Structure 1
Amino acid sequence: MTDPVRDLFDAKPEMARCPHLAYGPMREEAAPRWIERIQAYALTRYDDIVAVLRAPEKFSSVMASGPGSVTPLARRLVADPDTSSTLRAQAQRRLEISESAVLLNADPPVHSRQRKLVNRAFTARRVLAMEPSVEQLANELIDAFIDDGKAEMVSQFSILMPMTVIADILGVPAEMHPTFKRWSDAFVAGTGSMNLSDDTIAELFAAVDEFYDYFTEQIARRREEPTDDLLSAIVGARIDGETPLTQNEMLQMLVQFLVAGNETTTNLLTSVMYKLVTDPELMTAVRADHALVPKVVEEVLRLESPVQGIFRTANEDVEIGGVTIPKGSNIYLVYGSANRDERNFHEPDRLSFDRASEGNHLAFGKGEHFCLGAPIARLETRVGITAWLRRTKEIALEADPEDVEYLPSFAQHGIARLPLRFTA
C-alpha cells in the first residue's frame, strides 16, 4: 500500500500534481510529523505555521530553502573527498557567498537592516510605473504566436514574461536573457528535488559560477556609473546609521531576486490559465468582467501556491501540537497545506471570489519575511492573463487534463507544459 506522504517527498508525479492527497491526512494528525527524507518536522496547519512565522527569535530562517537547495549541496560537495578540484572550488565559492545571510535566510536585526536598505526599490509607485511596459511585453509575446491559433504557454509566455521583467529591472540586456534563465534554473534546480545526478550538479555549479562572475563585474560598473535599475539601487542603498550592503550580500540578494522573479511567477501564470481553461463557468465570468482577474489570481495563489513550503530552524526546544521539537531541528512550513486548512477557510478546495473575511493565504509568507516581490508578481499575472483574454475569443486546453505534467518537486508547485489552442 502506498504512503501519500512518502510519495509526496519523493516527488512522485501523482503527488506533484495534487500534494493535497497527503496534506489532508497530515493536517488531521495535528502533531508535526518527522519527515526522514528531508530531515525536518512538517507543519501543515495554518495557525501553527503563522505562529512560527511570527516568532523569528525562536525559529531561524538560516535554512529557509531546505536541504535540497544549492548551499547544502555545496556543503556536501566540499566535504566529499571524491569531488573534483573545479567543482570543489565552485562549491566553496557558493559557501563563502552564502555565509552572508540575506533577506530570505536572514534573521533580525540583519534582515531588518537589509529590508530597510532595499525597500525603496519596491515601492508601490515604482511597481505601478511598470504597468505600461509589462502590458507592452505581454502583447509582444502574444504577437509571436497569435496567428498560429495555438501555443505552449509555459515556454512561449509564462517563462518569458517574468524572466524579461526581472532581467530588465536588474539591467540585463536582451541578448543575455536566455543565459539569465539558465542561471535561474540552476539556482532553483535543487529546491524540492533530492535526486540530482552528478552531471546535473556539475552543470548547476558551473552556471552558478557564471552568475557570480557576471554580476561581480556589473556591481563594479554600477559603482562607477549608476543607472536607473534595481542593481544600481542595491549598490547605492544607503540609510543613515545603517551599514551599506557588502559585495557578498549583494550577490546573494541578486540570487533571491533572480529565482523569486522567475520561477514562482512562471508557475503562477500557468496555474491561473490552467484553472480558467478547465473551468468553463469561471472563464465565462472572467471574460465578462476582467476586474475579476485579480480575485482569480489570489485564489490560485491560495489553491496552487507556487512555493509549497519553506524551512525554519528551532533556536530552542519548542513544543508544537504536543510534540517537543529539539533545538537545532529543521521545520518545514507547508504553505500549500495551510492555504487549504478547513479550520481557516470555508470550503477550502473551492475557488471563491469572496474570501475577504477569511484568513489571508500564505503564498507570499507572512510577517517580516513577506515576499518583497509580491506586488510585481501580482502585476505580471494580472496584466498577462488580461492580455490573453483581450486578444482571444476562446482558449482551450489541447490535452487531457490528466496528461498535464507537473514539476517533480515537493517545494515548488507548477505545470511543466500547457498546450493551448485559441481563436484570435
Structure 2
Amino acid sequence: MSNVAASLRPGDLDLYRPEALHDPYPLYAELRGRGPALHEPERDIWLVPGYAEAAAVLRNHREFVSGDGATYESALGRAERYPLIETDPPEHTRIRRAVQPPFARAEIEQLRPGIESAATAIVEQALALGEVDAVPSLAQPMPDRAMALLTGLVPPSCAKLVDWSDAVVRAQEPAADPLHTELLLEALTWLGQDGIPGLPAHCLGRLIMESGGTTGGLAADGPERLMTLASIWLAGVDSTGALLGNAIDALIEQPEQWELLRARPDLVPNAVEELLRFEAPFRVFYRRTRAEAEIGGVTIPAGATVCAVLGSTGRDPRQFPDPDRLDVTRENARTHLALGTSIHLCLGAPLARMEATSMLTELTRRVARFERTGDPVRSPSGTMRKFDALPVRLVGA
C-alpha cells in the first residue's frame, strides 16, 4: 500500500472555504483527479471524493466507524449522541431494528394521502401568491407536515422547526456558532416539555418513547429514546427541504427538463433520484479509523478523520457519464449515495422520496414554468447544500 498522496498547498483542498461552499463542483473535480484519498493538512482530514471509494468507506463499518462521530466534530466527549448515525453494530443494529418497521414500504404508503394533500395545499397557496420565496413557500412546508404525519410532533411553527433542524448539523461544523448549540438545546427542551406530552395516542413518537420502538429495544433509562426520536424528526426536515429547493433551482436552470417532466410525469420518481445525484443535500459524511486502513491503495492511519464527499460522488464520471448535465431519464440515477448506503442508509429515505415525488408531481400539473425574480442565496452551511432564499414567480399551467 502507498501512503503518498498528491502534494498540495495548505488550504487547497478545504471544502469549507466560502467559494468552495458556494460552488463546490470545480473543487470536487480537482479532488477526484488527484487520487482516491487525499489528506487535507489544515483540518487534518482525509477526503474521499470518488464514488467507488466513498461507497466502500460507507459500507465498511468495521474499519471506518461511526461511533466516534459522523460529523466534522468528533462525538467523543459529547454529552448527547444521535443513536442512528453515531453508533456501530451491535448497538446500531439494536437501535435500527427498534424503529425500522414503521419505515417499511407498506407503512410509509399509508402516509401517501396526507402527503399528497399537503402537496396540493402548499402548491395552491404558492400559486395564489404568484411571486414567492420558494424556500419557505414550497421547500420547507412539506417536510414540516410530513414529520407531523410520521411522528405526531407539531412544532410551534414551520420556521422554528427549520431553525432547529439547521442547528443540528451547523452545531458540528467548523464555523459553528454558539447560537447553533442554543437552538439545538431549545429543540430538545421543547421536545421533552411540550412535544412528547402533546403526542396523539397512536404515532411513531409514542411508540418510541413509551414502548422503545417496535421491538422494545430502545433503552428506557437515559436519553436514547429521546435522541432517537429527535434524530428522526429533525434530520427529516433539513434534508428534504434542501432537496426540494435544489430541485426547483436546477429545473429553472434547465427548463427543457421541466418541460419533459410536465409532458411525462411518469418520469418524476426517476427525476427525484437524478436531482439527489445532481445536488446531494448532504455535502459530506464522516467516519473515523481506529486502526490503519486502506482506501484505493492509499494508507489511512489509525485515529484518522475520513470525509466521504457525497456531493462529489454524484458528479463522478466513472459512475455517471456526463455528470454535470441534469438528465431526468438517467438510467442509473438511483445508484447515487446522497441518502447513504449499507447499514446507515437514511432511515427516512422512503418518506423523503414520497415527499419529493408528490411535490414535483403537483407542480408539473399546476406550474408551466418558474421565473427568477431575484438572486438566489445559498446557505453558508458546510454540511447541507441548500438555499436560504430562492425568489421565483410561478407561472400557472
TM-score (norm 2): 0.88
Give yes or no for the alignment of 1:166 onto 2:147: yes
Q: Secondary structure at the match of 2:46?
A: strand
CA 1:136/1:109 → structure 2, altered by over 3 Å: closer, same or farther? same
Look up the match of 2:4: none
Once the two structures are superposed, the pairs formed by residues 247-396 of structure 1 within 5 Å of their partners are: 247-356=222-331, 360-396=335-371
Deviation at 1:254, TM superposition (A): 2.6
CA 1:5/1:370 → structure 2, altered by over 3 Å: closer, same or farther? farther
Q: Secondary structure at the match of 2:379?
A: coil
Give yes or no for the alignment of 1:151 onto 2:156: no
Are the aligned partners of 1:188 and 1:259 in contact in 2 as well (CA < 8 Å)?
no
Look up the match of 2:65: 60
Look up the match of 2:203: 229
Are the aligned partners of 2:29 and 2:312 in contact in 1 as well (CA < 8 Å)?
yes
Are the aligned partners of 2:272 and 2:353 in contact in 1 as well (CA < 8 Å)?
yes
CA 1:291/1:18 → structure 2, altered by over 3 Å: closer, same or farther? same
Q: Secondary structure at the match of 1:396?
A: strand
- Calculate the aligned-residue CA RMSD, in Å: 2.7
CA 1:128/1:38 → structure 2, altered by over 3 Å: closer, same or farther? farther
How far apart, in 1, do the equivalents of 2:186 and 2:95 lie? 25
Q: Secondary structure at the match of 1:349?
A: coil
How far apart, in 2, do the equivalents of 1:109 and 1:340 lie? 34
Are the aligned partners of 1:310 and 1:332 in contact in 2 as well (CA < 8 Å)?
yes
How far apart, in 2, do the equivalents of 1:340 and 1:169 lie? 32
Which deviations, in whole Å up to 9, do the C-alpha atoms of 1:206-260 show, x marking residues without a partner? 33333233333468748xx972211112121356695645441122223322332
Once the two structures are superposed, the pairs formed by residues 202-241 of structure 1 within 5 Å of their partners are: 203-217=179-193, 221=197, 227-235=201-209, 236-237=211-212
Q: How many residues are paired up?
A: 388
CA 1:291/1:359 → structure 2, altered by over 3 Å: closer, same or farther? closer
CA 1:134/1:11 → structure 2, altered by over 3 Å: closer, same or farther? farther
How far apart, in 2, do the equivalents of 1:158 and 1:5 lie? 34
Deviation at 1:422, TM superposition (A): 2.3
How far apart, in 2, do the equivalents of 1:136 and 1:300 lie? 23
Percent identity of equivalent pairs:
28
How far apart, in 2, do the equivalents of 1:385 and 1:245 lie? 40
The counterpart of 1:135, out of the listed 102, 106, 116, is 116
How far apart, in 2, do the equivalents of 1:148 and 1:238 lie? 42
Which deviations, in whole Å up to 9, do the C-alpha atoms of 1:109-160 show, x marking residues without a partner? 0111111100112121221111111121122223333223211100112112
How far apart, in 1, do the equivalents of 2:393 and 2:333 lie? 36
How far apart, in 2, do the equivalents of 1:142 and 1:355 lie? 27
Are the aligned partners of 1:186 and 1:204 in contact in 2 as well (CA < 8 Å)?
yes
Look up the equivalent residue of 2:188 and give its one-letter code: Y
How far apart, in 1, do the equivalents of 2:141 and 2:14 lie? 29
How far apart, in 2, do the equivalents of 1:385 and 1:137 lie? 12
Look up the equivalent residue of 1:130 and give its one-letter code: L
Q: Secondary structure at the match of 2:80?
A: helix
How far apart, in 1, do the equivalents of 2:379 and 2:92 lie? 31
Q: Secondary structure at the match of 2:307?
A: strand
Are the aligned partners of 1:154 and 1:416 in contact in 2 as well (CA < 8 Å)?
yes
Are the aligned partners of 1:314 and 1:328 in contact in 2 as well (CA < 8 Å)?
yes
Ranges in structure 2 where 5+ consecutive residues have no aligned partner? 1-7
Q: Secondary structure at the match of 1:181?
A: helix
